[in-house]
């Protein structure tokens, strides 16, 4: 399957076309700890605030957590 970033032109939540591609930190909470994954690309609807992650976003997040696991060992 070809890996193609999803390019949203219309928000599936509110039908707005006010969607922009942004790269921002993403904050997770895990075991009561705050984890910040830096520079996660995604599409954001500026009308309803909904954010949409594509395959590329998930790969960056996954890679980050893989690294965290490795460095956190011990
Ligand atoms: Zn929206």
* The pLDDT of residue 1: 53
Q: How far is the CA of 10 from the centre of ligand 1 (A)?
A: 8
Q: Residues lining ligand 1 (ion), CB within 5 A?
A: 11, 13-14, 16, 45, 47-48, 50
Whole-number Å distance between alpha carbons of 38 and 30: 16
Would you tell me how many other CB atoms lie within 10 Å of the CB of residue 35?
A: 13
HSE-CB of 45 using CA atoms within 13 angstroms: 16
Question: Which DSSP symbol is given to 9?
Answer: S
Mean pLDDT per 10-residue interval, the chain, length 74 residues: 68 96 93 94 96 92 89 63
pLDDT of residue 71: 74
Q: pLDDT value at position 22?
A: 95
H-helix or E-strand containing 27? Answer: strand 19-30
Distance (Å) from CA 21 to ligand 1 centroid: 13
């Amino acid at each position: 399957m070809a890996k193609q970033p999803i390019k949203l032109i219309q928000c599936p939540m509110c039908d707005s076309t006010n969607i922009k591609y942004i790269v921002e930190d993403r904050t997770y909470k895990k075991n009561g700890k705050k984890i910040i994954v830096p520079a996660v690309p995604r599409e954001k609807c500026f009308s309803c605030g909904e954010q949409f992650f594509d395959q590329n976003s998930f790969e960056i997040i996954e890679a980050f957590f893989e690294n965290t696991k490795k460095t956190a060992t011990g």
